[in-house]
Amino acid sequence: MSTYNPYEEAKKQLKKAINVLNYPDRDSVYARLSVPERILEVAIPVKMDDGTIKVFKGFRSQHNSARGPYKGGIRYHPQVTKEEVIALSMWMTWKCALADIPYGGGKGGVAVDPHQLSPRELEQLSRNYFRAIAPIVSPDIDIPAPDVYTDPQIMAWFFDEYSKYAGYNAFGVVTAKPLELFGSLGRIYSTGYGTAVAAREAAKVAGINLQGATVSIQGYGNAGYYAAKFLHEWGAKIVAVSDTKGTIINWNGLDPDKLHEWKTTKSAKRSVIDYPDAEQRLEGDTTAPLFLNVDILIPAALENQITGENADKVAAKVIAEAANGPTTVEADEILDKRGVIIAPDFQANAGGVIVSYFEWVQNRQGISWTEEEVKRRLEGKIVASFHAMYEAKQKYNVDWRTAAYIVAVDRVVKAMRLRGWL
Ligand code: NAD
């Protein structure tokens, strides 16, 4: 059995950043930031289609609100635990702070396998969960969003349930709502676009010209596809892509839109491995893109892919992480010594939460921005966070991920000091 405890890992990362920042009151800072401000555990009864009542366990963790309302997704997964939700809420505090959006960190979850529920049961679970956490959320207090196995339809039910509770149309209480309920344009590609911008900034630092730069991508889902699409638009060549069935390579470049269309239009079950325009097919090899001699690598699948054991085999000069946690701490150190430029996950995949923030801003003003406006502002945020991280890296002489943590933790600590919390 794995002994991995996400909350312990999150606390270790926090401690590391605090130590580098060398605050005189580092124990007090750690004491305040290593625990969430509030965590609510709720029992969610659902009347099942067979007439029985099942009770599911749900959580909402609110880690820190020094910079604004709590912000973070809600996941539905059988393995959701209190520790995981707390760790992820802490991570959201850093992600929002690094992106410099006026939010703290929150996260919610329900221990359930949503695929085992009928649509009616799923709706009742969603409404009853949100009703149960309603006393601690609002557009000014805590603004949930989707995460693993939750989607815009579930956000619409959350919004509706909260609006009934509050007695008005509270559009700003959840984000990533359907466009018909004033979700934001650009949300669909926000993560991949942000990753592409982060990769572009990292490439500049590495002295790589995007025109003709080679890119490989592990995982060709939402994040991987859109990162590929925008990098391709800017002149880069997508030379390798993998999914759960294997890897395809074409050193002349793959067309991201054609590949996406081919993978998704006829059947959701299609794999990149059968795409006609490939020079090489590596069936069953899902990790090959990680080790090709390319300029830019985008891990966009799973956590724990680049480790202490295989980091030496990574040949890319730039890594922009769309996936959460694809690189371990040991691998970070090895890659950093070799001068690889890394845009770490919570910097490079923050596009989703940034556009969530834009949605909330639009909802609160009762306006809708154009797609160009959303893209322009998103680009600005990702560029700014990348360069803040780069400055911290140079100032403190640390690896890229630690530099990102330093910027984020320091922003939160400064806000706490100004408010008299420390
Ligand atoms: P997705 O389900 O749309 O796509 C995942 C892709 O990865 C699929 O093509 C799948 O076949 C492939 N894949 C799965 N296991 C693989 C493996 N072992 N090797 C190679 N490919 C594999 O998911 P997504 O939304 O694109 O998310 C991908 C990653 O990005 C996840 O780590 C997710 O947490 C992270 N992320 C996504 C978003 C977002 O808004 N989509 C935001 C932040 C972080």
**Segment 250-261 mean pLDDT:** 97
Hey, what are 7's tokens?
């909350």
Residue among 94, 189, 305, 349 whose CB has most ligand 1 atoms within 8 A, to mutate? 349
Expressed in angstroms and rounded, the spacing between residue 9 Cα and the centre of ligand 1 is 22
The pTM of this model reads 0.96
Spatial contact of 60 and 39, defined as CB atoms under 8 Å apart: yes
C-beta separation of 314 from 335 below 8 A = yes
The answer, yes or no, to whether residue 2 has pLDDT greater than 60, is: no
148 CA closest ligand 1 atom index:
34
Give the pLDDT confidence score for residue 315 in this predicted structure.
98
Ligand 1 neighbourhood includes 300 CB (under 6 angstroms): yes
| 53 Cα: distance to centroid of ligand 1 (angstroms) | 34
Q: Number of helices and strands (H, E) in the chain?
A: 13, 12
The whole-angstrom separation of Cα 386 and Cα 394 is 13
pLDDT value for 3: 64
279-318 tens-digit pLDDT: 999 999 999 999 999 999 999 999 999 999 999 999 999 9
Decide if pLDDT at 347 tops 50.
Answer: yes
Query: Within 295-370, where are the H helices?
Result: 329-337, 345-348, 351-365
Nearest CA to ligand 1 atom 20: 243
pLDDT, tens digit (0-9, with 9 covering 90-100), for 380-418: 999 999 999 999 999 999 999 999 999 999 999 999 999
pLDDT in tens, 37-82: 999 999 999 999 999 999 999 999 999 999 999 999 999 999 999 9
Which residues are CB-contacts of 372 (< 8 A; sequence separation ≥ 6)? none
Closest atom of ligand 1 to CA, residue 345: 44
CA 290 to centroid of ligand 1, rounded, Å: 15
Positions marked active-site? 107
Name the pLDDT band for 1 (thresholds 50, 70, 90): very low
Q: 3-state DSSP call for residue 118? A: coil
173 vs 30: CA distance, rounded Å: 30
CB 297, CB 195: distance < 8 Å: no
**Which atom from ligand 1 is nearest to the alpha carbon of 224?**
26
Q: pLDDT tens digits for 263-282?
A: 987 666 789 999 999 999 99
